Chains A and B, each alone.
Chain A
């Protein structure tokens, strides 16, 4: 898949993984394991980027005697998901256009 496109898609996937409730690194990777190829080292910069653009915020909580960092979606992040859904309709019509051309 196109790297730029994939980057955008992973970002939305990560946002979707924390949309319902705050989540942590290990859980995010596990939740997305079957959907998109995502390793620990690819997730890290995405989380940093989303935090820097205020699409998510972080907090730490005690777990098993150590600290665990949780990622929580913000309104901006929720808007991003909405935007993606709208863009997807546009993509779909482009896709349909391409397929129709091929079939002609």
Chain B
């Protein structure tokens, strides 16, 4: 039998293992057979000396089974797991006590967050009002500039330009900033809503 044949048959026999394990086995035998051939041994003889593929595959599968069994049965590990579980239980009770003791602090914390939120909303509202007034200024300035031009053409022209700049700035602001702000408010609102829902549950 040739090396490739041996390896492909072995691969078939151990295909219940993970791909990584199969690769590892095949690489191992491939390397060893290659080493022996390069050291002057006959390919067919090398394969024969390795013994039956069935036995090789069985040994590998058996070993794999044993190692996983040992991991489960090993009493020390089981004990360690128990200890870990106990520890986690203790931790959770101490956590509850901590939460109760810290509740006044938590209340203050919530109030601070709430006031910060209100402040944020106030700032947003202020910005909105500023924007609206800016739009008004632009529009009124634009119309007024024609009246101004009849009195003094150059200064009226300046007013026209300035008011156009203001209007274009407003358009830019509304276009870029507004969707962003709305999204922010919407997601913020949804998050608060969801957290309240969770607390109620």
Contacts and interface: CB of A to CB of B under 8 A. Distances in A.
B60 A26 contact: no
Contact of B31 (A45, A49, A68): A68
Query: Size range of the interface on B?
Result: 20 to 34
Contacts of A40: 29, 32, 50
B28 interface: yes
Nearest to B28: A44
B51 A25 contact: no
Contacts of A42: 59
A79 interface: no
What DSSP secondary structure best describes chain A's contact surface? helix
B32 A45 contact: no
Given A49-B67, A52-B67, A64-B38, A41 B31 contact: no
A33 interface: no
Nearest to B53: A41
A41 B50 contact: yes
Interface in A20-58: 24-26, 29, 39-42, 44-45, 47-49, 52
Interface of A: 24-26, 29, 39-42, 44-45, 47-49, 52, 64, 66-69
